[in-house]
Amino acid sequence: MKKLSIVVPCYNEELTIVPFLEATQKVEALMANELTFDYIFVNDGSKDRTLEVLREVASKFDNVHYLSFSRNFGKEAGLLAGLEAADGDLITVMDADLQDPPELLQEMYAKIQEGYDVVGTRRADRKGEPLIRSLFAKTFYWLINQISSTEMVDGARDFRLMTRQVVDSILDLKEVNRFSKGLFSWVGYDVAYVAYENRERIAGETSWSFWSLLRYSMDGFINFSEAPLNLAMWAGGGSFIASLLGIAFVVIRKLTIGGSIAGWASLVTIILFIGGLQLLALGIIGKYIAKIFLETKKRPVYLVKEKG
């Protein structure tokens, strides 16, 4: 029988792990004649009792395992650690807060049997989400799909069922700065999507603030597009051409009409404009260099302190 590995990154999820496990085990019982389940929880440096809860459930059930990081490394690191540890023929990634409904697994598995390599999930709507957040999310997806050749689906969650082959391909991407939404899509394969209504997390709090989401989306741009660099280049090119026209204008006027004008204010504005452009371009280049710096250090993405 085929084995399904379920990877669950956890950060401060002491309240949700048990309900999550219970809900998923119901689905496990329903699918028992098709698949065996295996759980890999990754404790991402939680500050609450998550680790104790994980130790407990792991000793209670043979098919529940956990990894515990030495500190908080972020959800991307948790995902990577879980995928590396997973040895199933099929692998799925789920949040611990039951925002990813386990009941969907049956429908997703049916699609895998139809021949798809990946079955992703997307939210049918953004109900229950603050308006400003939806607006930013929509803008992000629109913009990144304009400028990046890797397609990213609006509303797609990390919750996805993948074959062994797909996961191996994802693990072949050795970059240290991991933007999973992009990596999942970059590897390609035949992807089907299942839509469902947005759910609220059952307990605890989201660990994403508006600013951390904004920073995350910046990572998406830098990791999956050269557009910011091109923007800097075009802006530089544009102002260079404008300055050539300006020089021509000044020279021709000097030779024809003669004299010079009082232009203190306009001069200062232009200097500020050019200075600003240069700093902006430097900043953009700096962002990419910082990424290169992080990549070349080849530090491990996570450190495991305890396994069970």
Q: Say if residues 196 and 159 touch (Cβ distance below 8 Å).
A: no
Q: Which is nearer to Mg ion, 92 or 148 (CB)?
A: 92
Q: What is the largest CA-CA distance in the chain?
A: 93
Distance CA 20, CA 296 (A): 38
CB atoms within 10 A of CB 90: 22
Q: Contact at 8 Å (CB) between 96 and 16?
A: yes
Helices (H) and strands (E) in the chain, counts: 10, 8
10 binds, among Mg ion, ligand UDP, none (CB under 5 to 8 A by kind): ligand UDP
Strand partners, 2: 35
Stretch that binds ligand UDP, among 92-100, 135-143, 251-259, 272-280 (CB under 6 A): 92-100
Interface with ligand UDP includes 78 (CB under 6 A)?
A: yes
Under the binding rule (CB under 6 A), the answer on residue 72 touching ligand UDP is: yes
Q: Does 219 bind ligand UDP (CB under 6 A)?
A: no
Determine the Cα–Cα distance for residues 118 and 90; give it in Å rounded to an integer: 10
Q: CA-CA distance, 121 to 232, in Å (whole number)?
A: 36
Binding region for ligand UDP (CB under 6 A) out of 107-115, 137-145, 201-209, 269-277: 201-209
Residue 44 binds which entry of ligand UDP, Mg ion, none, CB below 5-8 Å type-dependent: ligand UDP
Stretch that binds Mg ion, among 40-48, 121-129, 201-209, 276-284 (CB under 5 A): 201-209
Site for ligand UDP in 37-56 (CB under 6 A): 44
- Chain residues in the site for Mg ion (CB under 5 A): 95, 97, 99, 201
- Chain residues in the site for ligand UDP (CB under 6 A): 9-11, 13, 44, 72, 74-75, 78, 95-97, 99, 201, 206-208
